[in-house]
């Protein structure tokens, strides 16, 4: 089944404790993105990747890192999480930016 998977689905952590949210797609898509969704602010792109080893900043990259060592995986890293990073995070992939984006199920992160 074609899908985007994210782990974990829920995470409660404390300020400053490094964490990684994994994202994997099995559709051989080139374009992958991370978004955060906050009430009243909609979905905002954090980072995107056009292909392996090609990543770039979205609109809200501060406090986040990504890597794209393999085509299928695009982990999101929070080196030192802060409470303002409490949010609902979505990973997505598509053949290209003009094409349908397939979204993962979301990761609800709480930073205390």
Tell which residue, 59, 110, 66, 112, has the closest CA to residue 88: 110
Nearer to other proteins, 42 or 62 (CB): 42
Beta strand pairing call for 107-111 and 10-13: parallel
Overall size of the chain counted in residues: 112
Distance between the two ends of the chain, CA-based, in angstroms?
36
Size of the site for other proteins (CB under 8 A): 24
Find all residues with CB under 8 Å of 61, minimum gap 6, and list them.
46, 47
Residue 85 in 3-state DSSP? helix
CB of 42 to other proteins, least distance (A): 5
Q: Do residues 79 and 20 make contact, with C-beta atoms less than 8 angstroms apart?
A: no
Query: Of residues 45-104, which lie at the interface with other proteins (CB under 8 A)?
Result: 45, 48, 50, 56, 58-59, 90, 92, 97-101, 103-104
CB of 58 to other proteins, least distance (A): 6
Nearer to other proteins, 70 or 100 (CB): 100
CB of 82 to other proteins, least distance (A): 23
Instruction: Point out which residues bind other proteins (CB under 8 A).
Output: 4, 31, 33, 35, 42-45, 48, 50, 56, 58-59, 90, 92, 97-101, 103-106
């Amino acid at each position: 089944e074609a899908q985007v998977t994210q782990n974990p689905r829920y995470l409660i952590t404390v300020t400053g404790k490094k964490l990684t949210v994994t994202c994997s797609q099995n559709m051989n898509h080139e374009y992958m993105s991370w978004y955060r969704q906050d009430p009243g602010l909609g979905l905002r792109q954090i980072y995107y990747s056009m292909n392996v080893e090609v990543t770039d900043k979205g609109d809200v990259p501060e406090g986040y890192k990504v890597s794209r060592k393999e085509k299928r995986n695009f982990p999101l890293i929070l080196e030192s999480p802060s409470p303002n990073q409490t949010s609902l995070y979505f990973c997505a992939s598509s053949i290209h930016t003009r094409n349908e984006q397939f979204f993962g199920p979301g990761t609800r992160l709480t930073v205390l």
